[in-house]
Structure 1
Amino acid sequence: MNLETKTNINIAIEASLKAGEAIMDIYDSVIEVEYKDDKSPLTQADKKANDIINSFLLPTGIPIISEENKQTEYSTRKQWETCWVVDPVDGTKEFIKRNGEFTVNIALVTNGKPVLGVIYVPAVKTIYFANVNSNNAFKAELNSHNVKLDEVLSLAVQLQPKKGDSNPIQVVGSRSHMSQETLDFVEQLKSKGKEVEIVSKGSSLKFCLVAEGNADVYPRFAPTMEWDTAAGQAICNAVGIDVISKETNKALLYNKENLLNPWFLVSKN
Protein backbone atom coordinates (compact mmCIF):
# COMPACT_ATOMS: atom_id res chain seq x y z
CA MET A 1 0.00 0.00 0.00
CA ASN A 2 1.61 3.28 -1.03
CA LEU A 3 1.73 6.23 1.37
CA GLU A 4 -1.04 8.20 -0.35
CA THR A 5 -3.39 5.20 -0.30
CA LYS A 6 -2.56 4.51 3.33
CA THR A 7 -3.19 8.14 4.27
CA ASN A 8 -6.55 8.23 2.49
CA ILE A 9 -7.85 5.04 4.11
CA ASN A 10 -6.72 6.31 7.52
CA ILE A 11 -8.54 9.60 6.95
CA ALA A 12 -11.70 7.73 5.91
CA ILE A 13 -11.54 5.50 9.00
CA GLU A 14 -11.10 8.48 11.33
CA ALA A 15 -13.90 10.41 9.59
CA SER A 16 -16.31 7.47 9.89
CA LEU A 17 -15.61 7.04 13.61
CA LYS A 18 -16.18 10.73 14.37
CA ALA A 19 -19.35 10.74 12.27
CA GLY A 20 -20.54 7.58 14.02
CA GLU A 21 -20.08 9.18 17.43
CA ALA A 22 -22.21 12.18 16.40
CA ILE A 23 -24.87 9.91 14.87
CA MET A 24 -25.19 7.94 18.12
CA ASP A 25 -25.59 11.12 20.17
CA ILE A 26 -28.65 11.91 18.06
CA TYR A 27 -29.81 8.26 17.98
CA ASP A 28 -29.99 8.32 21.78
CA SER A 29 -32.07 11.52 21.84
CA VAL A 30 -35.13 12.77 19.94
CA ILE A 31 -34.88 12.05 16.20
CA GLU A 32 -36.41 14.81 14.09
CA VAL A 33 -37.34 13.68 10.59
CA GLU A 34 -37.74 15.82 7.47
CA TYR A 35 -38.55 14.57 3.97
CA LYS A 36 -36.69 15.44 0.77
CA ASP A 37 -38.36 16.11 -2.58
CA ASP A 38 -38.11 12.41 -3.44
CA LYS A 39 -39.91 11.57 -0.15
CA SER A 40 -36.79 9.97 1.35
CA PRO A 41 -36.26 10.75 5.05
CA LEU A 42 -33.58 13.12 6.34
CA THR A 43 -32.53 13.55 9.96
CA GLN A 44 -30.18 15.85 11.83
CA ALA A 45 -27.83 12.86 12.01
CA ASP A 46 -27.44 12.86 8.19
CA LYS A 47 -26.55 16.55 8.23
CA LYS A 48 -24.21 16.45 11.23
CA ALA A 49 -22.36 13.34 10.00
CA ASN A 50 -21.99 14.90 6.55
CA ASP A 51 -20.43 18.06 8.01
CA ILE A 52 -17.95 15.98 10.02
CA ILE A 53 -16.98 13.77 7.07
CA ASN A 54 -16.54 16.82 4.81
CA SER A 55 -14.21 18.36 7.42
CA PHE A 56 -11.93 15.31 7.11
CA LEU A 57 -12.13 14.81 3.35
CA LEU A 58 -11.98 18.38 2.03
CA PRO A 59 -8.33 18.86 3.12
CA THR A 60 -7.32 15.93 0.86
CA GLY A 61 -8.14 18.10 -2.14
CA ILE A 62 -10.10 15.21 -3.67
CA PRO A 63 -13.65 16.18 -4.75
CA ILE A 64 -16.61 14.64 -2.92
CA ILE A 65 -19.88 13.12 -4.08
CA SER A 66 -22.09 12.83 -0.99
CA GLU A 67 -25.79 12.19 -0.67
CA GLU A 68 -26.08 15.30 1.49
CA ASN A 69 -23.90 17.65 -0.60
CA LYS A 70 -25.25 19.72 -3.46
CA GLN A 71 -24.37 17.63 -6.50
CA THR A 72 -21.77 19.02 -8.89
CA GLU A 73 -22.76 19.23 -12.55
CA TYR A 74 -21.55 16.28 -14.66
CA SER A 75 -19.73 18.67 -17.01
CA THR A 76 -17.37 19.27 -14.06
CA ARG A 77 -17.50 15.80 -12.49
CA LYS A 78 -16.52 14.03 -15.69
CA GLN A 79 -13.10 15.70 -15.41
CA TRP A 80 -12.51 14.03 -12.03
CA GLU A 81 -10.14 11.06 -12.17
CA THR A 82 -10.55 10.40 -8.44
CA CYS A 83 -13.34 11.32 -6.03
CA TRP A 84 -14.80 10.39 -2.67
CA VAL A 85 -18.29 8.83 -2.65
CA VAL A 86 -20.03 9.23 0.71
CA ASP A 87 -23.27 8.33 2.44
CA PRO A 88 -23.15 9.88 5.92
CA VAL A 89 -26.04 7.70 7.16
CA ASP A 90 -26.87 4.77 4.91
CA GLY A 91 -30.12 3.24 6.09
CA THR A 92 -31.85 6.36 7.42
CA LYS A 93 -35.07 4.32 7.64
CA GLU A 94 -33.26 1.81 9.87
CA PHE A 95 -31.90 4.71 11.94
CA ILE A 96 -35.42 6.09 12.44
CA LYS A 97 -36.69 2.60 13.38
CA ARG A 98 -33.77 2.37 15.85
CA ASN A 99 -32.86 -1.17 14.79
CA GLY A 100 -29.12 -0.44 14.63
CA GLU A 101 -28.70 -1.50 10.97
CA PHE A 102 -27.40 1.78 9.58
CA THR A 103 -23.90 2.65 8.46
CA VAL A 104 -21.45 5.37 7.53
CA ASN A 105 -20.16 4.73 3.98
CA ILE A 106 -16.97 6.32 2.62
CA ALA A 107 -15.33 5.16 -0.61
CA LEU A 108 -12.56 6.44 -2.83
CA VAL A 109 -13.18 5.96 -6.55
CA THR A 110 -10.58 6.19 -9.33
CA ASN A 111 -11.57 6.06 -13.00
CA GLY A 112 -15.04 4.89 -12.04
CA LYS A 113 -13.87 2.01 -9.82
CA PRO A 114 -13.88 1.87 -6.00
CA VAL A 115 -10.32 1.49 -4.72
CA LEU A 116 -10.88 2.05 -0.98
CA GLY A 117 -13.93 1.50 1.18
CA VAL A 118 -14.90 2.09 4.80
CA ILE A 119 -18.21 1.06 6.37
CA TYR A 120 -18.79 1.90 10.03
CA VAL A 121 -21.71 0.47 12.00
CA PRO A 122 -21.93 2.93 14.90
CA ALA A 123 -24.70 1.14 16.85
CA VAL A 124 -22.37 -1.82 17.47
CA LYS A 125 -19.01 -0.02 16.98
CA THR A 126 -17.93 -2.34 14.16
CA ILE A 127 -15.87 -1.07 11.24
CA TYR A 128 -15.09 -2.67 7.88
CA PHE A 129 -12.37 -1.30 5.62
CA ALA A 130 -10.67 -2.42 2.43
CA ASN A 131 -7.98 -1.62 -0.08
CA VAL A 132 -8.98 -3.17 -3.40
CA ASN A 133 -5.55 -2.87 -5.03
CA SER A 134 -3.88 -4.92 -2.29
CA ASN A 135 -6.82 -7.38 -2.04
CA ASN A 136 -7.23 -6.78 1.68
CA ALA A 137 -10.45 -6.26 3.63
CA PHE A 138 -10.79 -6.16 7.40
CA LYS A 139 -13.30 -5.96 10.22
CA ALA A 140 -12.63 -4.55 13.67
CA GLU A 141 -14.98 -4.64 16.66
CA LEU A 142 -14.27 -1.59 18.80
CA ASN A 143 -14.98 -0.66 22.40
CA SER A 144 -15.47 3.03 21.68
CA HIS A 145 -15.91 5.52 18.83
CA ASN A 146 -12.94 7.38 20.30
CA VAL A 147 -10.16 4.95 19.47
CA LYS A 148 -6.80 5.70 17.92
CA LEU A 149 -6.10 4.42 14.46
CA ASP A 150 -3.43 2.07 15.83
CA GLU A 151 -6.05 0.35 17.97
CA VAL A 152 -8.41 -0.08 15.02
CA LEU A 153 -5.60 -1.70 13.05
CA SER A 154 -4.55 -3.93 15.96
CA LEU A 155 -8.12 -5.24 16.35
CA ALA A 156 -8.63 -5.80 12.62
CA VAL A 157 -9.38 -9.32 11.40
CA GLN A 158 -9.11 -10.18 7.71
CA LEU A 159 -12.40 -10.92 5.94
CA GLN A 160 -12.89 -14.30 4.29
CA PRO A 161 -15.88 -14.97 2.04
CA LYS A 162 -17.38 -18.45 1.75
CA LYS A 163 -15.55 -21.07 -0.28
CA GLY A 164 -17.25 -23.66 -2.45
CA ASP A 165 -20.97 -24.27 -2.91
CA SER A 166 -23.39 -23.81 -0.04
CA ASN A 167 -26.57 -25.64 0.76
CA PRO A 168 -28.74 -23.93 1.73
CA ILE A 169 -27.75 -20.88 -0.31
CA GLN A 170 -27.92 -17.81 1.90
CA VAL A 171 -29.48 -14.94 -0.04
CA VAL A 172 -29.31 -11.43 1.38
CA GLY A 173 -32.62 -9.60 1.37
CA SER A 174 -33.41 -6.06 2.36
CA ARG A 175 -35.24 -5.11 5.53
CA SER A 176 -37.11 -2.39 3.64
CA HIS A 177 -36.94 -3.19 -0.10
CA MET A 178 -37.75 -6.86 -0.85
CA SER A 179 -38.88 -6.52 -4.47
CA GLN A 180 -40.90 -8.99 -6.51
CA GLU A 181 -37.86 -9.46 -8.76
CA THR A 182 -35.82 -10.54 -5.74
CA LEU A 183 -38.51 -13.02 -4.76
CA ASP A 184 -38.46 -14.33 -8.35
CA PHE A 185 -34.65 -14.74 -8.11
CA VAL A 186 -35.12 -16.85 -4.98
CA GLU A 187 -37.74 -19.01 -6.72
CA GLN A 188 -35.31 -19.55 -9.63
CA LEU A 189 -32.70 -20.91 -7.22
CA LYS A 190 -35.29 -23.20 -5.65
CA SER A 191 -36.36 -24.46 -9.09
CA LYS A 192 -32.76 -25.68 -9.55
CA GLY A 193 -33.12 -27.86 -6.49
CA LYS A 194 -31.36 -25.47 -4.11
CA GLU A 195 -32.48 -24.82 -0.58
CA VAL A 196 -32.58 -21.09 0.13
CA GLU A 197 -32.25 -19.21 3.39
CA ILE A 198 -33.06 -15.47 3.40
CA VAL A 199 -30.72 -13.33 5.51
CA SER A 200 -32.19 -9.88 6.16
CA LYS A 201 -30.08 -6.80 6.82
CA GLY A 202 -30.42 -3.07 6.33
CA SER A 203 -28.07 -0.61 4.61
CA SER A 204 -24.62 -1.50 3.21
CA LEU A 205 -24.32 -4.29 5.78
CA LYS A 206 -25.69 -6.53 3.03
CA PHE A 207 -22.36 -6.26 1.18
CA CYS A 208 -20.47 -7.01 4.39
CA LEU A 209 -22.45 -10.22 4.96
CA VAL A 210 -21.22 -11.62 1.66
CA ALA A 211 -17.64 -10.35 2.09
CA GLU A 212 -17.28 -11.94 5.53
CA GLY A 213 -18.80 -15.28 4.58
CA ASN A 214 -22.18 -14.92 6.29
CA ALA A 215 -24.12 -15.04 3.01
CA ASP A 216 -23.60 -16.27 -0.56
CA VAL A 217 -25.33 -13.77 -2.79
CA TYR A 218 -27.00 -10.37 -2.64
CA PRO A 219 -29.42 -9.60 -5.49
CA ARG A 220 -30.44 -5.95 -5.56
CA PHE A 221 -33.27 -5.53 -8.02
CA ALA A 222 -34.47 -2.19 -6.70
CA PRO A 223 -33.11 1.38 -6.90
CA THR A 224 -29.88 2.42 -5.18
CA MET A 225 -27.59 5.41 -5.57
CA GLU A 226 -23.81 5.37 -5.98
CA TRP A 227 -23.24 6.42 -2.35
CA ASP A 228 -25.27 3.40 -1.18
CA THR A 229 -22.92 0.92 -2.86
CA ALA A 230 -19.40 2.28 -3.48
CA ALA A 231 -17.90 1.40 -0.08
CA GLY A 232 -19.60 -1.99 -0.03
CA GLN A 233 -18.36 -2.76 -3.53
CA ALA A 234 -14.79 -1.89 -2.48
CA ILE A 235 -15.00 -4.28 0.47
CA CYS A 236 -16.44 -7.06 -1.70
CA ASN A 237 -14.01 -6.52 -4.59
CA ALA A 238 -11.05 -6.66 -2.19
CA VAL A 239 -11.96 -10.26 -1.27
CA GLY A 240 -12.84 -11.43 -4.79
CA ILE A 241 -16.60 -10.80 -4.69
CA ASP A 242 -18.08 -9.21 -7.81
CA VAL A 243 -20.75 -6.51 -7.94
CA ILE A 244 -22.21 -6.91 -11.42
CA SER A 245 -24.66 -4.60 -13.19
CA LYS A 246 -27.71 -6.37 -14.62
CA GLU A 247 -27.65 -3.84 -17.49
CA THR A 248 -24.05 -4.27 -18.68
CA ASN A 249 -23.03 -7.59 -17.09
CA LYS A 250 -19.91 -5.75 -15.90
CA ALA A 251 -18.87 -4.20 -12.59
CA LEU A 252 -20.88 -1.22 -11.33
CA LEU A 253 -19.19 2.07 -12.23
CA TYR A 254 -19.14 5.35 -10.33
CA ASN A 255 -19.19 9.10 -10.96
CA LYS A 256 -21.61 8.44 -13.82
CA GLU A 257 -23.72 11.20 -15.35
CA ASN A 258 -26.72 9.62 -13.61
CA LEU A 259 -25.79 8.69 -10.03
CA LEU A 260 -28.61 6.12 -9.92
CA ASN A 261 -27.30 2.55 -10.07
CA PRO A 262 -28.71 -0.14 -12.32
CA TRP A 263 -29.90 -3.34 -10.63
CA PHE A 264 -26.98 -5.54 -9.61
CA LEU A 265 -25.90 -8.89 -8.21
CA VAL A 266 -23.22 -9.42 -5.55
CA SER A 267 -21.67 -12.89 -5.69
CA LYS A 268 -18.44 -14.88 -5.95
CA ASN A 269 -16.42 -14.77 -9.20
Structure 2
Amino acid sequence: MFSKKEILKLQDIAIEAVLAAGSVIIEIYNKDFKVAFKEDESPLTIADQEANVKIEQILKKTLIPIISEESRQLPYEARKDWQCCWIVDPLDGTKEFIKKNDEFTVNIALVEDGKPLMGVIFAPALNELYYGNVFDSKGYKAKVNSGDSLETVRNNSVPIAPKKDQEVYRVVGSRSHMNDDTLLFVDQLKEKTNQKIDIISKGSSLKLCLVAEGSADAYPRFAPTMEWDIAAGHAICNAVGLKVRQQNSDGELQYNKENLLNPYFSVTND
Protein backbone atom coordinates (compact mmCIF):
# COMPACT_ATOMS: atom_id res chain seq x y z
CA MET A 1 0.00 0.00 0.00
CA PHE A 2 1.37 3.39 -0.99
CA SER A 3 1.64 6.16 1.58
CA LYS A 4 0.31 9.64 0.81
CA LYS A 5 3.89 10.91 0.54
CA GLU A 6 4.74 8.20 -2.01
CA ILE A 7 1.59 8.91 -4.04
CA LEU A 8 2.36 12.63 -4.20
CA LYS A 9 5.89 11.90 -5.39
CA LEU A 10 4.59 9.52 -8.07
CA GLN A 11 1.97 12.10 -9.04
CA ASP A 12 4.75 14.64 -9.68
CA ILE A 13 6.54 12.08 -11.87
CA ALA A 14 3.35 11.45 -13.83
CA ILE A 15 2.85 15.19 -14.32
CA GLU A 16 6.44 15.50 -15.54
CA ALA A 17 5.77 12.65 -17.99
CA VAL A 18 2.55 14.08 -19.48
CA LEU A 19 4.14 17.51 -19.94
CA ALA A 20 7.15 15.95 -21.69
CA ALA A 21 4.86 13.91 -23.93
CA GLY A 22 2.80 17.02 -24.61
CA SER A 23 5.87 18.82 -25.96
CA VAL A 24 6.53 15.97 -28.40
CA ILE A 25 2.89 15.80 -29.48
CA ILE A 26 2.47 19.54 -30.09
CA GLU A 27 5.63 19.72 -32.18
CA ILE A 28 4.18 17.03 -34.48
CA TYR A 29 0.64 18.46 -34.32
CA ASN A 30 1.83 21.79 -35.72
CA LYS A 31 3.20 20.26 -38.91
CA ASP A 32 2.15 17.65 -41.46
CA PHE A 33 2.18 14.03 -40.32
CA LYS A 34 1.28 10.65 -41.75
CA VAL A 35 -1.49 8.40 -40.45
CA ALA A 36 -1.19 4.61 -40.32
CA PHE A 37 -3.76 2.07 -39.13
CA LYS A 38 -3.49 -0.78 -36.63
CA GLU A 39 -4.97 -4.24 -37.12
CA ASP A 40 -8.23 -3.10 -35.48
CA GLU A 41 -8.35 -0.20 -37.99
CA SER A 42 -7.77 2.44 -35.29
CA PRO A 43 -5.47 5.26 -36.44
CA LEU A 44 -1.84 5.62 -35.38
CA THR A 45 0.55 8.54 -35.80
CA ILE A 46 4.19 9.15 -35.02
CA ALA A 47 2.94 11.35 -32.14
CA ASP A 48 1.45 8.28 -30.41
CA GLN A 49 4.73 6.43 -30.74
CA GLU A 50 7.14 9.22 -29.78
CA ALA A 51 5.01 10.30 -26.82
CA ASN A 52 5.03 6.70 -25.60
CA VAL A 53 8.83 6.57 -25.74
CA LYS A 54 9.11 9.80 -23.74
CA ILE A 55 6.62 8.64 -21.10
CA GLU A 56 8.24 5.25 -20.65
CA GLN A 57 11.69 6.83 -20.25
CA ILE A 58 10.36 8.78 -17.27
CA LEU A 59 8.06 6.18 -15.68
CA LYS A 60 10.56 3.32 -15.88
CA LYS A 61 12.66 5.12 -13.25
CA THR A 62 9.93 4.24 -10.71
CA LEU A 63 10.42 0.47 -11.34
CA ILE A 64 6.62 0.12 -11.49
CA PRO A 65 5.45 -1.95 -14.49
CA ILE A 66 3.63 -0.19 -17.31
CA ILE A 67 0.59 -1.06 -19.40
CA SER A 68 0.56 1.29 -22.40
CA GLU A 69 -1.57 1.32 -25.51
CA GLU A 70 1.50 1.73 -27.68
CA SER A 71 3.67 -0.99 -26.11
CA ARG A 72 3.53 -4.74 -26.62
CA GLN A 73 1.00 -6.14 -24.15
CA LEU A 74 2.27 -8.82 -21.82
CA PRO A 75 0.05 -11.89 -21.39
CA TYR A 76 -2.13 -11.96 -18.28
CA GLU A 77 0.00 -14.74 -16.83
CA ALA A 78 2.88 -12.25 -16.63
CA ARG A 79 0.68 -9.43 -15.24
CA LYS A 80 -1.71 -11.14 -12.86
CA ASP A 81 0.52 -10.89 -9.79
CA TRP A 82 1.31 -7.22 -10.23
CA GLN A 83 0.18 -5.39 -7.09
CA CYS A 84 0.44 -2.05 -8.87
CA CYS A 85 1.11 -0.68 -12.35
CA TRP A 86 1.00 2.41 -14.49
CA ILE A 87 -1.70 2.52 -17.16
CA VAL A 88 -0.83 4.88 -20.01
CA ASP A 89 -2.42 6.27 -23.14
CA PRO A 90 0.27 8.42 -24.80
CA LEU A 91 -2.28 10.02 -27.12
CA ASP A 92 -5.94 9.53 -26.29
CA GLY A 93 -8.20 10.82 -29.02
CA THR A 94 -5.99 10.15 -32.02
CA LYS A 95 -9.02 10.79 -34.24
CA GLU A 96 -9.36 14.26 -32.68
CA PHE A 97 -5.61 14.80 -33.17
CA ILE A 98 -5.94 13.95 -36.87
CA LYS A 99 -8.98 16.24 -37.22
CA LYS A 100 -6.97 18.98 -35.45
CA ASN A 101 -9.81 19.97 -33.15
CA ASP A 102 -7.48 20.12 -30.08
CA GLU A 103 -9.51 17.62 -28.00
CA PHE A 104 -6.85 14.99 -27.39
CA THR A 105 -5.01 14.11 -24.20
CA VAL A 106 -2.15 12.28 -22.56
CA ASN A 107 -3.41 9.92 -19.83
CA ILE A 108 -1.41 8.37 -16.98
CA ALA A 109 -2.93 6.45 -14.06
CA LEU A 110 -1.46 4.57 -11.13
CA VAL A 111 -3.43 1.44 -10.25
CA GLU A 112 -3.16 -0.77 -7.17
CA ASP A 113 -5.01 -4.08 -6.83
CA GLY A 114 -7.16 -3.18 -9.82
CA LYS A 115 -8.23 0.21 -8.44
CA PRO A 116 -7.07 3.61 -9.75
CA LEU A 117 -5.28 5.60 -7.03
CA MET A 118 -4.04 8.59 -9.00
CA GLY A 119 -4.58 10.06 -12.44
CA VAL A 120 -3.08 12.81 -14.59
CA ILE A 121 -4.61 14.04 -17.86
CA PHE A 122 -3.01 16.70 -20.06
CA ALA A 123 -4.61 18.31 -23.10
CA PRO A 124 -1.53 19.92 -24.71
CA ALA A 125 -3.37 21.86 -27.44
CA LEU A 126 -5.74 23.34 -24.83
CA ASN A 127 -3.01 23.86 -22.19
CA GLU A 128 -5.24 22.13 -19.61
CA LEU A 129 -3.93 19.72 -16.98
CA TYR A 130 -6.16 17.70 -14.64
CA TYR A 131 -4.90 15.56 -11.78
CA GLY A 132 -6.02 13.98 -8.53
CA ASN A 133 -5.52 11.10 -6.14
CA VAL A 134 -7.67 9.32 -3.60
CA PHE A 135 -5.44 10.31 -0.67
CA ASP A 136 -6.01 14.04 -1.19
CA SER A 137 -9.72 13.48 -1.90
CA LYS A 138 -9.41 16.46 -4.24
CA GLY A 139 -8.99 17.04 -7.92
CA TYR A 140 -7.16 19.91 -9.57
CA LYS A 141 -7.01 21.75 -12.88
CA ALA A 142 -4.11 23.86 -14.06
CA LYS A 143 -3.65 26.11 -17.08
CA VAL A 144 -0.12 25.23 -18.20
CA ASN A 145 2.09 24.80 -21.24
CA SER A 146 3.95 21.64 -22.19
CA GLY A 147 7.33 23.02 -21.14
CA ASP A 148 6.22 24.28 -17.72
CA SER A 149 7.75 23.14 -14.43
CA LEU A 150 6.10 21.36 -11.51
CA GLU A 151 6.27 24.63 -9.58
CA THR A 152 4.30 26.35 -12.34
CA VAL A 153 1.74 23.55 -12.27
CA ARG A 154 1.29 23.94 -8.51
CA ASN A 155 1.05 27.74 -8.73
CA ASN A 156 -1.60 27.52 -11.44
CA SER A 157 -3.69 24.72 -9.93
CA VAL A 158 -7.21 25.27 -8.67
CA PRO A 159 -9.46 22.67 -6.99
CA ILE A 160 -12.27 21.12 -9.00
CA ALA A 161 -15.47 19.52 -7.79
CA PRO A 162 -18.76 18.23 -9.23
CA LYS A 163 -21.68 20.65 -9.14
CA LYS A 164 -25.24 20.58 -10.39
CA ASP A 165 -27.18 22.93 -12.62
CA GLN A 166 -30.68 23.15 -11.18
CA GLU A 167 -32.33 23.85 -14.52
CA VAL A 168 -30.40 21.75 -17.04
CA TYR A 169 -29.01 18.20 -16.81
CA ARG A 170 -25.79 18.15 -18.82
CA VAL A 171 -24.74 14.91 -20.51
CA VAL A 172 -21.32 14.71 -22.11
CA GLY A 173 -20.91 12.40 -25.08
CA SER A 174 -18.22 11.37 -27.50
CA ARG A 175 -17.73 13.22 -30.77
CA SER A 176 -17.00 9.87 -32.40
CA HIS A 177 -19.16 7.30 -30.56
CA MET A 178 -22.75 8.52 -30.00
CA ASN A 179 -25.11 5.55 -30.46
CA ASP A 180 -28.64 4.29 -29.79
CA ASP A 181 -27.82 3.05 -26.26
CA THR A 182 -26.55 6.50 -25.32
CA LEU A 183 -29.61 8.18 -26.77
CA LEU A 184 -31.82 5.76 -24.78
CA PHE A 185 -29.90 6.71 -21.61
CA VAL A 186 -30.65 10.36 -22.36
CA ASP A 187 -34.38 9.65 -22.88
CA GLN A 188 -34.50 7.84 -19.53
CA LEU A 189 -32.82 10.81 -17.86
CA LYS A 190 -35.52 13.11 -19.20
CA GLU A 191 -38.18 11.02 -17.46
CA LYS A 192 -36.16 10.67 -14.27
CA THR A 193 -35.04 14.28 -13.78
CA ASN A 194 -37.85 16.29 -15.40
CA GLN A 195 -35.11 18.66 -16.52
CA LYS A 196 -34.03 19.91 -19.89
CA ILE A 197 -31.18 17.74 -21.19
CA ASP A 198 -28.18 19.36 -22.86
CA ILE A 199 -25.74 17.20 -24.82
CA ILE A 200 -22.12 18.34 -24.65
CA SER A 201 -19.85 16.81 -27.29
CA LYS A 202 -16.23 16.26 -26.30
CA GLY A 203 -13.33 14.11 -27.40
CA SER A 204 -10.94 11.83 -25.49
CA SER A 205 -10.76 11.54 -21.68
CA LEU A 206 -11.83 15.17 -21.33
CA LYS A 207 -15.37 13.82 -21.01
CA LEU A 208 -14.58 12.39 -17.58
CA CYS A 209 -12.84 15.62 -16.61
CA LEU A 210 -15.97 17.65 -17.42
CA VAL A 211 -17.99 15.64 -14.90
CA ALA A 212 -15.22 15.85 -12.30
CA GLU A 213 -14.99 19.64 -12.60
CA GLY A 214 -18.75 20.23 -12.61
CA SER A 215 -19.15 21.23 -16.28
CA ALA A 216 -21.32 18.14 -16.91
CA ASP A 217 -23.54 15.89 -14.81
CA ALA A 218 -23.14 12.53 -16.54
CA TYR A 219 -20.99 10.65 -18.98
CA PRO A 220 -22.48 7.38 -20.26
CA ARG A 221 -20.18 5.23 -22.36
CA PHE A 222 -21.97 2.41 -24.14
CA ALA A 223 -19.29 1.72 -26.71
CA PRO A 224 -15.93 -0.06 -26.45
CA THR A 225 -13.06 1.49 -24.49
CA MET A 226 -9.77 0.11 -23.25
CA GLU A 227 -8.31 0.45 -19.77
CA TRP A 228 -5.83 3.15 -20.85
CA ASP A 229 -8.69 5.29 -22.17
CA ILE A 230 -10.40 5.52 -18.80
CA ALA A 231 -8.07 4.78 -15.86
CA ALA A 232 -6.67 8.30 -15.38
CA GLY A 233 -10.09 9.95 -15.63
CA HIS A 234 -11.53 7.31 -13.30
CA ALA A 235 -8.90 8.19 -10.68
CA ILE A 236 -9.67 11.90 -10.96
CA CYS A 237 -13.40 11.20 -10.64
CA ASN A 238 -12.77 9.07 -7.54
CA ALA A 239 -10.63 11.87 -6.08
CA VAL A 240 -13.62 14.25 -6.22
CA GLY A 241 -16.07 11.67 -4.85
CA LEU A 242 -17.56 10.23 -8.06
CA LYS A 243 -17.83 6.57 -9.04
CA VAL A 244 -17.31 5.14 -12.52
CA ARG A 245 -19.83 2.29 -12.46
CA GLN A 246 -20.23 -0.65 -14.77
CA GLN A 247 -23.49 -0.63 -16.70
CA ASN A 248 -26.38 -2.15 -14.69
CA SER A 249 -24.13 -2.56 -11.65
CA ASP A 250 -22.90 -0.64 -8.60
CA GLY A 251 -19.46 -2.13 -9.19
CA GLU A 252 -16.73 0.16 -10.50
CA LEU A 253 -14.42 -0.53 -13.41
CA GLN A 254 -11.38 -2.67 -12.59
CA TYR A 255 -7.92 -2.55 -14.13
CA ASN A 256 -5.10 -4.89 -15.15
CA LYS A 257 -7.77 -7.44 -16.07
CA GLU A 258 -7.10 -10.46 -18.23
CA ASN A 259 -9.04 -8.71 -20.98
CA LEU A 260 -8.06 -5.02 -21.09
CA LEU A 261 -11.37 -4.11 -22.78
CA ASN A 262 -13.73 -2.25 -20.43
CA PRO A 263 -17.38 -3.12 -19.93
CA TYR A 264 -19.87 -0.35 -20.68
CA PHE A 265 -20.03 2.20 -17.88
CA SER A 266 -21.30 5.59 -16.72
CA VAL A 267 -20.28 8.27 -14.27
CA THR A 268 -22.99 10.52 -12.87
CA ASN A 269 -23.11 13.37 -10.39
CA ASP A 270 -25.84 11.79 -8.25
Provide the TM-score with structure 2 as the length reference.
Answer: 0.96
- SS of 2:141's equivalent in the other structure is strand
State the distance in 1 between where 2:53 and 2:246 align: 31
1:109 aligns with 2:111: yes
Cα deviation, 1:188-218, whole Å, max 9, x if unaligned, reads 1223433100011000000000000000000
Match of 2:177 in 1: 177
Cα deviation, 1:66-106, whole Å, max 9, x if unaligned, reads 00010011011111000000000000000000000000000
State the distance in 2 between where 1:82 and 1:139 align: 25
State the distance in 1 between where 2:111 and 2:6 align: 14
Which 4+ stretches in 1 moved above 4 angstroms? none
1:123 aligns with 2:136: no
Alignment of 1:15-30 (within 5 A): 15-30=17-32
Match of 1:249 in 2: 250
State the distance in 2 between where 1:160 and 1:247 align: 25
Cα deviation, 1:160-208, whole Å, max 9, x if unaligned, reads 1114x63310001110000110001111122343310001100000000
Amino acid at match of 1:187: D
- Root-mean-square deviation (CA), in Å? 1.2
- SS of 1:241's equivalent in the other structure is coil
Cα deviation, 1:123-145, whole Å, max 9, x if unaligned, reads 01110010112202100001x31
Match of 2:58 in 1: 56
Alignment of 1:85-100 (within 5 A): 85-100=87-102
State the distance in 2 between where 1:248 and 1:186 align: 18
Cα deviation, 1:6-42, whole Å, max 9, x if unaligned, reads 2110010000001001000000011210000000000
**Do the aligned partners of residues 152 and 71 (structure 1) sit closer, same or farther apart at CA in structure 2, a change above 3 Å counting?**
same
Amino acid at match of 2:90: P
**Do the aligned partners of residues 253 and 233 (structure 1) sit closer, same or farther apart at CA in structure 2, a change above 3 Å counting?**
same
- Higher mean Cα deviation, 194-203 or 246-255? 246-255
Task: Structure 1 unaligned segments of length 5 or more: list them.
Answer: none
State the distance in 2 between where 1:44 and 1:29 align: 12
- SS of 1:19's equivalent in the other structure is helix
Aligned-pair distance for 1:247? 5.5
Alignment of 1:216-227 (within 5 A): 216-227=217-228
Between the two proteins, what is the percent identity of the paired residues? 55
Instruction: Determine if contact 2:103/2:126 at 8 Å carries over to the other structure.
Output: no
State the distance in 1 between where 2:195 and 2:139 align: 29
Amino acid at match of 2:103: E
